[in-house]
Structure 1
Amino acid sequence: MTQVHIIGAGIHPFGRHDDKTGLDQGVHAVREALADAGLAWSDVEFAFGGSSAAGSADAALPRLGLTGVQFINISNGCATGGSSLLSGYWAIKSGEFDLGVVIGFDKHPRGAFNADPVASGLPRWYGETGMMLTTQFFAMKIRRYMELHAISATTLGRVAVKAYENGTVTPHAWRRAPVDLETVMTSQMLSDPLTKFMFCSPAEGGVALVLASETKMRELGLSGPRVRGAAVRTRPRGSFEVFSPSLDVKRGVSPTELASKAAYDMAGVGPGDIDVAQIQDTESGAEIMHMAENGFCADGEQEQWLSEGATRLSGKLPINTDGGCLACGEPVGASGLRQVYENVQQLRGRAAGRQVDGARLAYSQVYGAPGISAVAILEA
């Protein structure tokens, strides 16, 4: 059976780049990824990619070369990058292609994300009550989770401290300065219980990966991590959260739980086998909830994990080793691929300053509204 490998990886640093368009940053990432693999754009047989706010991803073609390559645009919210990776994986796994590129880039204006509920398949009242404004949505979601599972505000703060600490040793991160716990906890309250430093910011950046079949990789004399498992799942009925802590409502299984189980089953591994993980952390609460949804701990165990430093670079399961969305910001089209880029660096031993010793299995998970989760497991 055909195996799929990542043989090249490129990134444009995340943050704010007033002199560059989102497309500029995406093209930069593709050129970096091709150079990493020692290939030319003319070698590429297909491409998948997406951008939320910076135009269609296939706009990169005139800049890269008009070769007639198959290019399909992907749009799955924050899960766009993960969905692009899965599409490329399938294209090679099926035997149809041997070599391709997945790309994601974006350039968002300043301010919180505030989407159109109807365009997202949700009722209009959902937006009218403020649920599409991400700061409010995330705050209500984590507040209920904290009440149900005895998670303290300090634990939210510890997630942010770790993220900014990791960002200081990550060249592609936007936030490169440490922030201490007191500063995180006493910074401006945006939506209770989340303070300013507990949120990521809409950002800019680009990421590209070169995928190849094992046969093609060996023919080229290259090597790279194998995509051992990959899955995208949407939310089933009953999965969408009811947010008020006073309501006793049983929540159904989430799309992240479905995607993670599918990826674990495909890879033939479990959560305890993972050496390093990148998980969705649009704010501190998301990382805490996703720790449990991806099977790394039980609901409520995050309190002890964070207090003991279990998710730090030296911990039993380093999480968001490049600082995640909190330190890097979130350009929607690129964010999921940034996670995979970081895992490629970890598995290649190239993550200087933040390298996880002996990492062999790396996990990534990204969640996109209104309920799409993408998971990928890489093996060195």
Structure 2
Amino acid sequence: MRDAYLIGTGQSPYGSYPNESYRSLFQTAYEAATDSVDNGIDSDEIDEAFVGMISIGGRQLGLSAPAVTEHVGLHGIPTTRVENACAASGSAVRHAVQAVQSGMADVALAGGVESMTDLSSDTTRYWFGVSGETEWERMAGTTFSGVYAQIASAHMEAYGTTREQLSQVAVKSHSNGAKNPKAHLGFECSLEQAEGAPTIADPLTLYHCCPTSDGAAAVLVASEDVAAEYTDRPVRIAGVGAAGDGVGLFQRESYTNLPATRKAGQQAYKMAGVGPDDVDFAEVHDCFSIAEILAYEDLGFCEPGEGGQLIADGVTTLEGDLPVNTSGGLKSKGHPIGATGAGQLVEAFDQLRGEADDRQVEDARCGLTHNVGGSGGAAVVHVLESPEEMEVSA
């Protein structure tokens, strides 16, 4: 298989934009991605597109992907909508990589978009809830915050994880997000604010939960045969992994880990020829603070049960040995469901090219992105290498 590279990435601001359509949000991200290609790219050079979205509120459920690609001027190319709950655009990137590696495309577009704030909270909650297990969880009244509260409670009981450690995740993420001009909640918070915020689902407070966001993200994936035509600083997608699991918590043996993340991470590490110790920074799926702690453990950054101590010791802060969610993560940057996974690669691209401004990780050579669907029914992991780590065919 041919190697695949990121040659350009872009995203819209994340936040509340009720007057923006999902088409216009995607256009903002697409234009930012094409503008970021060092040597430029024309729309007729893009061979295929994959777009992740749930379509909150039931808007354009059928043919929603060509609805956005035609809007941005990608006329006639094969376009596929990818639905994998919150892992939709991470999965879309995986499909684009596969298309390039197989030779079906030289350049593929992958991205995602979601409009979530132009409807009532009840309507949004209903459509968001369809990503949970329907019969035994959603129809019984369980929300995602309730599901992750059960996960947090189980982790606390099994390993002694504390609510203060959950709050430390939030404080760290907001500190990073305050440096990100695209972040939905781009402000810092104190430990006291996170601890004292209203309880959403015990033990989770408001600051332990990500916001409902509008936004879009897009990335351009090119083969090794053509990457150098577009830039002399492409980012290699060295490893890709994906896995699924039971959609409902009751279908799993344990509440304290996500098997899909573990399997996806192992696949990505093996393909890239690296291990957790080689990762310089990571963007992980922190829809709730406990999800970030689980990711530390499931991705091999620490042993099971040690995730709370990892954040307590400052390892995952911007100044730590393994910065996590330098973008602010879902918690501060925001979580427009269909855009989140691709948005993680936007941050990784910037970090590996040394273009992350005040959030820059020193000497970043290997990055990882981790995108989860629902409460662990799907997971996608990408391992990426900086331009200095490879040679690109001219």
Which bin holds the TM-score, normalised by the shorter protein?
over 0.9
Match of 2:15 in 1: 15
1:309 aligns with 2:320: no
Amino acid at match of 1:170: N
Identity, in percent, stands at 31
Q: Would the alpha carbon gap of residues 167 and 15 (structure 1) be closer, same or farther in structure 2, given more than 3 Å must change?
A: same
Match of 2:44 in 1: 42
1:73 aligns with 2:85: no
Give the CA deviation at 1:253: 6.5
Distance, in Å, in 1 between the alignment partners of 2:332 and 2:12 is 15
1:197 aligns with 2:203: no
Amino acid at match of 2:227: M
Gaps of 5+ in 2: 387-394
Match of 2:242 in 1: 232
Amino acid at match of 2:136: W
Amino acid at match of 1:81: S
Match of 2:354 in 1: 349
Q: Would the alpha carbon gap of residues 162 and 118 (structure 1) be closer, same or farther in structure 2, given more than 3 Å must change?
A: closer
Amino acid at match of 2:241: A
Specify the SS of the correspondent of 2:30. helix
* Counterpart among 143, 154, 166 of residue 156 in structure 1: 166
Distance, in Å, in 1 between the alignment partners of 2:348 and 2:207 is 25
Give the CA deviation at 1:356: 0.3
Aligned length in residues: 374
Match of 2:389 in 1: none
Distance, in Å, in 2 between the alignment partners of 1:220 and 1:125 is 50
Amino acid at match of 1:160: A
Specify the SS of the correspondent of 1:310. coil
Question: 1:180-259 alignment to 2 at 5 Å?
Answer: 180-235=190-245, 241-242=249-250, 254-259=259-264
Give the CA deviation at 1:223: 2.8
Match of 2:137 in 1: 126
Q: Is the 8 A contact 1:279 1:319 kept in 2?
A: yes
Q: Deviations over 1:186-232 (max 9, x none)?
A: 01111101111111011011100011011101234543100000121
Give the CA deviation at 1:49: 0.6
Specify the SS of the correspondent of 1:7. strand
Specify the SS of the correspondent of 1:48. strand
Bigger shift: 10-19 or 213-222?
Answer: 213-222
Gaps of 5+ in 1: none
Q: Would the alpha carbon gap of residues 58 and 92 (structure 1) be closer, same or farther in structure 2, given more than 3 Å must change?
A: same
Q: Is the 8 A contact 2:183 2:328 kept in 1?
A: yes
Distance, in Å, in 2 between the alignment partners of 1:202 and 1:123 is 21
Q: Is the 8 A contact 2:48 2:108 kept in 1?
A: yes
Q: Deviations over 1:50-102 (max 9, x none)?
A: 22126413212332225311111111100101100000000000012111111
Q: Is the 8 A contact 1:117 1:123 kept in 2?
A: no
In the TM superposition, structure 1's runs of 4+ consecutive aligned residues that sit over 6 Å from their partners are 248-253
Q: Is the 8 A contact 2:241 2:380 kept in 1?
A: yes
Aligned-pair Cα RMSD in Å:
2.3
Match of 1:102 in 2: 110
Distance, in Å, in 2 between the alignment partners of 1:208 and 1:264 is 24
Give the CA deviation at 1:250: 8.7
Question: 1:332-347 alignment to 2 at 5 Å?
Answer: 332-347=337-352
Specify the SS of the correspondent of 2:95. helix
Q: Is the 8 A contact 2:110 2:218 kept in 1?
A: yes
Q: Is the 8 A contact 1:48 1:71 kept in 2?
A: yes
1:377 aligns with 2:383: yes
Amino acid at match of 1:96: M
Q: Deviations over 1:281-307 (max 9, x none)?
A: 001111011110111111221232122
TM-score after normalising by structure 2: 0.89
